[in-house]
């Protein structure tokens, strides 16, 4: 017999409103999408009594490439790094954490997510694996990217308005500030919300710094790049010069017989050179934040270091040096072949004359090319070399000069006809610093309209 038709049960008005709000949040912010074990979307707000709370899990799993001993100049690996006595640094292999997803539906979940990721690194008594450190920095980047997104700024403001007691403890908000905020007007409360958002940004930045500066963490190039990405997303370049210094001089942790010892690093090694793309990203972050001290500190701890200069010489001079070494052999073989094409003198004399002529031509041409490359100034805008600086030093320190030129153009006047009229303590300090580096800021004969 046919089944009787049962009328659908009417849903309460609150449930209908909640479902509409949830659908809007899911459609505008993909970071807030997660499902429960039954396949239905989870409900926003505080968990109900007796319900199991979903554990925070990172949105993106850190997949780290395996590196062997055949690394390029400038790459660092804790497994092939040696201490002062030459013994390798040992690390106990551990399994990488599983791929997880984070719940960013409230300030409490964000702070708990960061705290758990940090504790995996800080609370570990052994040398933490690179995967755990990368996962902690990735968690900082996910929260930073979520907070700094303009499309979710209203949601962040709504979250701050509904801070619970747990979030207040994690944000270190004292009772006096809470009591005062309840008595403020609407304009003052809006300013307080902005201050609390800045406090969240500071906490994310401090968490990333605590992870990267932990004594048991060996800073690799991949970790440094991720840390720079976090601070660049937050717009906080203040700690980048110090982290660049730690990258080259931080003692290397070594684990043996259940205890950890620290070996001193040589900051002038080729492996301690920072990659140019990381330096450029950090310098752009300092320029966007209008932080002159951070910009100069980044240049001082990257381009000015001997490790970077030596790495540049190895990378860019390997092929020319190999060609220069093989040039005499190739010239002698060519001279021997040419000596058989003439009959005016004996073969030995003709071979010697042709050999000397070929070497003289190659040597003169290479010298002229090097002088032309080292003395080129078309790329110089405001910072140029002082007279008397050797050509080899100009070539090796060209990246440092270009970075100072970029900083000078960012802090000075944009109009060319006004350049050279800048005043102020910051500009005077920058001019003096550039002068100490063997360079000149706004050289008169190179300025527009002053070449006569």
Res 444 pLDDT > 70: yes
Among 160-174, 198-212, 417-431, the least confident range: 160-174
- Comparing C-alpha atoms, which of 156, 155, 163 is closest to residue 25? 155
Q: What is the CA radius of gyration of the chain?
A: 31
pLDDT of residue 424: 87
Euclidean distance between CA atoms 347 and 118, whole angstroms: 77
For residue 61, the model assigns a pLDDT of 36
Chain position carrying tokens 């590196």 = 67
Q: What is the pLDDT of residues 79-89, one digit of tens each?
A: 444 443 334 44
Query: Is the CA virtual torsion 244, 285, 236, 435 positive or negative?
Result: positive
| CA gap 406, 112 in Å, rounded | 40
Cα–Cα distances in Å, from 169 out to 105, 116, 163, 174? 18, 15, 10, 8
Helix, strand, or coil (residue 29): coil
Residue 415 has pLDDT above 60, yes or no: yes
48 has pLDDT over 60: no
> Is the pLDDT reported for residue 180 higher than 80?
no
| 69-79 CB burial, b ≥16 within 10 A, e <16 | eeeeebbbbbe
362-395 confidence digits (pLDDT tens):
989 988 988 888 788 788 888 999 988 998 899 9
What is the predicted pLDDT for the residue at 238?
Answer: 93
Question: How far is it, in rounded angstroms, from Cα 311 to Cα 329?
Answer: 28
To 10 degrees, what angle do helices 276-288 and 221-234 make? 20
Long-range contacts of 419-424 (CB under 8 A, 24+ apart): 419/382, 419/447, 420/447
Please state, as a whole number, how many other Cβ atoms lie within 10 Å of the Cβ of residue 108.
21
DSSP-based three-state secondary structure for 154: helix
- Asked if 101 and 58 count as a contact pair (C-beta separation under 8 A), the reply is yes
pLDDT at 371: 86
User: From the CB of residue 30, how many other CB atoms can be counted at a distance below 10 Å?
Assistant: 8
As a whole number, mean pLDDT of residues 209-231 equals 94
- Predicted confidence (pLDDT) at residue 6 exceeds the cutoff of 50: no
Rounded Cα distance between 65 and 58, Å, is 19
Prediction pTM value: 0.69
Q: What would the pLDDT profile of 153-172 be if each residue is shown by its tens digit?
A: 666 666 666 554 444 555 55
CB 76 within 8 A of CB 132: no
| 88-99: average pLDDT | 40
d(CA 449, CA 432): 25
The residues near 294 (Cβ < 8 Å, ≥ 6 apart) are 237, 238, 240, 241, 286
Statement: residue 337 has pLDDT above 60: yes
Cα distance between residue 273 and residue 310, in whole Å: 8
C-alpha span between 143 and 449 (Å, rounded): 51
> What proportion of the chain, given as a percentage, has pLDDT over 90?
33
Give the model's pLDDT for residue 8.
Answer: 47
pLDDT score, position 37: 36
Q: Residue ranges of the domains in the chain?
A: 54-65+73-302, 376-452
The 3-state DSSP composition of the chain as helix, strand, coil percent (nearest 5) reads 55, 5, 40
Q: Which residues contact 439 (CB under 8 A, 6 or more apart)?
A: 383, 384, 385, 386, 401, 404
Average pLDDT over residues 202-207: 91
Average pLDDT over residues 429-436: 93
Q: Is 298 in contact with 286 (CB distance < 8 Å)?
A: yes
Name the residue with higher pLDDT: 26 or 333: 333
Strand partners, 441: 383
The Cα 452–Cα 445 span in angstroms is 8
The whole-number average pLDDT for the span 268-287 is 94
- The whole-angstrom separation of Cα 17 and Cα 10 is 14
Q: How confident is the model at residue 422 (pLDDT cuts 50, 70, 90)?
A: confident
pLDDT at 99: 39
Q: What is the pLDDT at residue 286?
A: 95
């Amino acid at each position: 017999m046919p089944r009787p038709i049962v009328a659908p049960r009417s849903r309460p008005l609150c449930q209908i409103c909640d479902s509409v709000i949830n659908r809007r949040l899911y459609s505008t912010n993909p970071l807030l999408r997660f499902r429960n074990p039954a396949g239905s979307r989870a409900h926003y707000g505080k968990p109900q009594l007796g319900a199991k709370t979903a554990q925070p899990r990172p949105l993106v799993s850190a997949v780290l490439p395996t590196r062997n001993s055949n690394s390029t100049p400038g790459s660092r690996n804790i497994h092939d790094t040696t201490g002062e006595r030459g013994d390798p640094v040992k690390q106990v292999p551990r399994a990488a954490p599983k791929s997880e997803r984070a719940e960013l539906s409230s300030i409490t979940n964000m702070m708990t997510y960061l705290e758990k990721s940090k504790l995996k690194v800080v609370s570990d008594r052994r040398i933490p694996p690179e995967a755990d450190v990368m996962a902690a920095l990735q968690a900082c980047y996910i929260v930073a990217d979520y907070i700094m997104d303009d499309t979710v700024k209203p949601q962040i403001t709504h979250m701050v308005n509904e801070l619970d007691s747990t979030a207040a403890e994690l944000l270190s908000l004292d009772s006096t500030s809470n009591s005062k905020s309840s008595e403020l007007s609407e304009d003052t409360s809006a300013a307080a919300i902005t201050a609390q958002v800045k406090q969240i940004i500071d906490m994310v930045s401090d968490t990333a710094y605590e992870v990267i500066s932990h004594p048991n963490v060996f800073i690799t190039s991949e970790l440094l790049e991720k840390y720079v990405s976090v601070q660049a997303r937050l717009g906080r370049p203040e700690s980048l010069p110090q982290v660049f210094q730690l990258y080259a001089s931080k003692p290397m942790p070594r684990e043996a017989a259940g205890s950890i010892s620290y070996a001193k690093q040589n900051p002038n090694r080729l492996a301690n050179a920072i990659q140019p793309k990381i330096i450029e990203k950090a310098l752009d972050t300092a320029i966007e934040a209008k932080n002159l001290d951070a910009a100069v500190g980044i240049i001082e701890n990257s381009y000015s270091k001997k490790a970077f200069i030596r790495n540049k010489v190895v990378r860019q001079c390997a092929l020319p040096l190999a060609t220069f070494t093989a040039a005499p052999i190739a010239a002698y073989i060519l001279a021997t072949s040419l000596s058989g094409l003439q009959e005016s003198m004996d073969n030995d004399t003709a071979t010697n004359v042709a050999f000397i002529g070929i070497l003289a031509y190659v040597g003169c041409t290479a010298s002229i090319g090097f002088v032309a490359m080292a003395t080129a100034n078309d790329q110089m805008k405001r910072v140029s070399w002082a007279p008397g600086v050797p050509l080899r030093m100009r070539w090796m320190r060209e990246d440092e000069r270009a970075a100072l030129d970029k900083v000078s153009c960012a802090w000075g006047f944009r109009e060319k006809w006004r350049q050279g009229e800048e005043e102020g303590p910051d500009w005077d300090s920058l001019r003096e610093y550039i002068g100490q580096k063997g360079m000149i800021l706004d050289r008169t004969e190179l300025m527009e309209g002053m070449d006569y």
